[in-house]
Chains A and B, each alone.
Chain A
Amino acid sequence: MSEWWTYSLSDFLLFSPRIYYRLFELYNADIWPLQILALALGAAIFGLLLSGVIWRGRAIAAVLAACWLWVAWAYLLQRYDTINWAASYFAVGFAAEAMLIAWSGIIRDRLGFRSGTEAAGRMGGCIFLFALVVYPLIGPLVGRAWAQAEVFGVAPDPTAIATLGILVAAYRPHWSLLVIPLIWCAISAATLWTMQSPEAMVVAVAAALALVVAAWKSLARDQRASRAET
């Protein structure tokens, strides 16, 4: 694209906010009551996080992978693609994240959690709970219809934020799994910002927080490793 510097974010916005949120309304109506199941699965993930069962990493990874795959197919390909020709590329990214989570968390069993009071773990849990409980309320709180609520497991933004929370809560940072949710949050925050939607800041701050905590965790882990060597 020549003269790329002359383009602004609004030049890439193909639809109006009204149609964007109507898409969620129609989607929610079509899949109802799947939102209840998705919220129940989210609650189950949080319960597993608090529990000490040995298979929790695999179970959480299985639920997350299923959610990413569902969002890729049911929302991005079937709905969002009707108003955004880039949605099919986003769907590929979501499907790839599902595969990565399944590979790392289920097949290789690398999604481990440390029970206790580690600050980063608690922060990850808070980010997850925020995505599960608070995020769907933002739309109605700013005056949009309940029918347009974005719910974890079926809508992309809360699913990405919740996944970031889980990955931050994990015993060791999984950068390979963090990349796609972070990229999605950047794309979504830019879209929402252009639409002057209040969720723009929410998505951006949640992603930035997860990034900072993951980086801090990596750094602390490296320092521990170097101290152990000396």
Chain B
Amino acid sequence: MRQRGSLSRRSLLGALTAASTAVLRPWPALSQGRAVITRPIPSTGETLPVVGLGSWITFNVGDDIVARDVCAEVMRAFFAAGGRMIDSSPMYGSSQKVIGYGLGKLDRPPGVFSADKVWISPGSRGAGQIEASRRYWGVPRFDLLQVHNLLAWEEHLRTLRAMKAAGQLRYIGITTSEGRRHREVEQIMRTQPLDFVQVTYNILDREVEDRILPLARERGIGVIVNRPFREGELIRRMTRHPLPAWAAEIDCANWAQFLLKFIVSHPAVTCAIPATTRVDHVRENMGAAHDRLPDASMRARMIAHVEKL
């Protein structure tokens, strides 16, 4: 992915300084005695913990009851740590059914923020797919539905807007990943009423800092960040090196928290959604939603350090 230029970096640093303290709010519920950091959804002000839970690959375990129970335990640990947003898609194989299984096993914990996607063409088949997804989750309605990878987005956004107007849905959005179709994403962000946009953003893939994240702030659109660890590649790369001692200044105990705190400290980001199959990893991830976040100068230091490794 392309790196952002120095001019936009300077402007970003300025924005960060101004915004980093203003937008971060503690989640009323305490996790392990510590407040969970939350961000407001720009269109409503409703707050969400800055770390959510993705389900790409990790929750696609089919009918394997042992693996399903492991996923349910991951969800239990996620909710226990103060997490709320779970994200999935019809594209992710059995993930939706596995989330529904987990929610059922955990007696439908309150406060779950259900985020799913519509991914079908032609767009006229969207409503049927959304209803099937809702049944898999076992929820009365979704909190957020996104048009996955902009597939048939015009028709799907019409459907989602109608559902939102009818009270069958609370938020709508669009998604892309790995830097694809950013021009089109920008165009849609400029012209369509959206609550969320989902993009790839991590300490090495920062293209969205140039235009999409500033545009999201300008237009009052929440940002969900996918692939925060590049599907685990960043964690594997970083864990070959010791965590720098100065990471303690932002309360990072491990590389996962280091990488996540970098992402969620961007003022435009509402929530990052790392995926995992392990309870210890979900606890590590949720640790990034606590205590101090990096300021602009620390973010620059984090980038410089990781780029050297």
User: Which of A's residues lie within 8 Å of B, judged by CB?
Assistant: 2-3, 6, 10-11, 13-16, 19, 22-23, 26, 79, 82-85
Question: Are B57 and A79 neighbours in the complex by a CB distance under 8 Å?
Answer: no
For the complex, would chain A's binding face be called helix, strand, loop or mixed by DSSP majority? loop
Select which of A3, A19, A26, A85 is within 8 A of B180 by beta carbon.
A3
B3 in contact (CB, < 8 A)? no
Known: A3-B180, A15-B57, A22-B64. 17 other contacts (CB 8 A): A2-B181, A3-B181, A6-B179, A11-B178, A14-B92, A14-B93, A15-B61, A16-B58, A19-B60, A22-B67, A23-B62, A26-B63, A26-B64, A79-B62, A82-B62, A82-B63, A82-B94
Question: Are A14 and B64 neighbours in the complex by a CB distance under 8 Å?
Answer: no
**Size of interface on B: residues with Cβ below 8 Å to A:** 19
Closest residue of chain B to A13 (Cβ to Cβ) is B57
Closest residue of chain A to B184 (Cβ to Cβ) is A2
> Shortest Cβ distance from A194 into chain B, in angstroms?
11
Select which of A10, A26, A79, A83 is within 8 A of B60 by beta carbon.
A83
> Shortest Cβ distance from B101 into chain A, in angstroms?
12
Closest residue of chain B to A87 (Cβ to Cβ) is B93
Closest residue of chain B to A19 (Cβ to Cβ) is B61
B277 in contact (CB, < 8 A)? yes
9 contacts between A and B (CB under 8 A): A11-B178, A13-B57, A15-B60, A16-B277, A19-B64, A22-B61, A22-B64, A22-B66, A82-B63
Closest residue of chain A to B179 (Cβ to Cβ) is A6
B231 in contact (CB, < 8 A)? yes
Contacts of B67 in A (CB 8 A): 19, 22
Question: Are A84 and B57 neighbours in the complex by a CB distance under 8 Å?
Answer: no
Complex Cα–Cα for A10 and B177 (A): 13
Complex Cα–Cα for A55 and B178 (A): 57
Complex Cα–Cα for A14 and B91 (A): 8
Q: Which of A3, A16, A19, A26 has the most CB of B within 10 A?
A: A19
Identify which of residues 252-306 in chain B touch chain A, using a CB-to-CB cut-off of 8 Å: 277
Contact A6/B178 with A19-B64, A82-B94 known, Cβ cut-off 8 Å: yes
Complex Cα–Cα for A3 and B301 (A): 34
> Shortest Cβ distance from A64 into chain B, in angstroms?
28
> Shortest Cβ distance from A79 into chain B, in angstroms?
7
Complex Cα–Cα for A19 and B55 (A): 14
> Shortest Cβ distance from A86 into chain B, in angstroms?
10
Contacts of A23 in B (CB 8 A): 62, 64
Identify which of residues 174-189 in chain B touch chain A, using a CB-to-CB cut-off of 8 Å: 178-181
> Shortest Cβ distance from B174 into chain A, in angstroms?
14
Contact A83/B178 with A19-B61, A19-B62, A22-B64 known, Cβ cut-off 8 Å: no
Question: Are B60 and A14 neighbours in the complex by a CB distance under 8 Å?
Answer: yes
Complex Cα–Cα for A182 and B252 (A): 51
Question: Are B181 and A82 neighbours in the complex by a CB distance under 8 Å?
Answer: no
Contacts of A26 in B (CB 8 A): 63-64
Closest residue of chain A to B92 (Cβ to Cβ) is A14
Contacts of B92 in A (CB 8 A): 14
Contacts of A2 in B (CB 8 A): 181
> Shortest Cβ distance from B61 into chain A, in angstroms?
5
Complex Cα–Cα for A13 and B67 (A): 18
Closest residue of chain A to B151 (Cβ to Cβ) is A1
Complex Cα–Cα for A2 and B60 (A): 25
Complex Cα–Cα for A13 and B91 (A): 11
Contacts of A11 in B (CB 8 A): 178
Complex Cα–Cα for A14 and B98 (A): 14
| Closest 3 pairs between A and B when the two form their complex, measured CB to CB | A82-B62, A83-B62, A14-B93
Question: Are A84 and B180 neighbours in the complex by a CB distance under 8 Å?
Answer: no
Closest residue of chain A to B233 (Cβ to Cβ) is A10
Identify which of residues 90-127 in chain B touch chain A, using a CB-to-CB cut-off of 8 Å: 91-94
Contacts of B58 in A (CB 8 A): 16
Complex Cα–Cα for A15 and B231 (A): 12
Question: Are B277 and A83 neighbours in the complex by a CB distance under 8 Å?
Answer: no
Contact A6/B60 with A19-B67, A85-B93 known, Cβ cut-off 8 Å: no
> Shortest Cβ distance from B250 into chain A, in angstroms?
31
Complex Cα–Cα for A83 and B71 (A): 15
Question: Are A6 and B64 neighbours in the complex by a CB distance under 8 Å?
Answer: no
Q: Which of B58, B64, B66, B178 has the most CB of A within 10 A?
A: B64
> Shortest Cβ distance from B293 into chain A, in angstroms?
31
Identify which of residues 148-199 in chain B touch chain A, using a CB-to-CB cut-off of 8 Å: 178-181
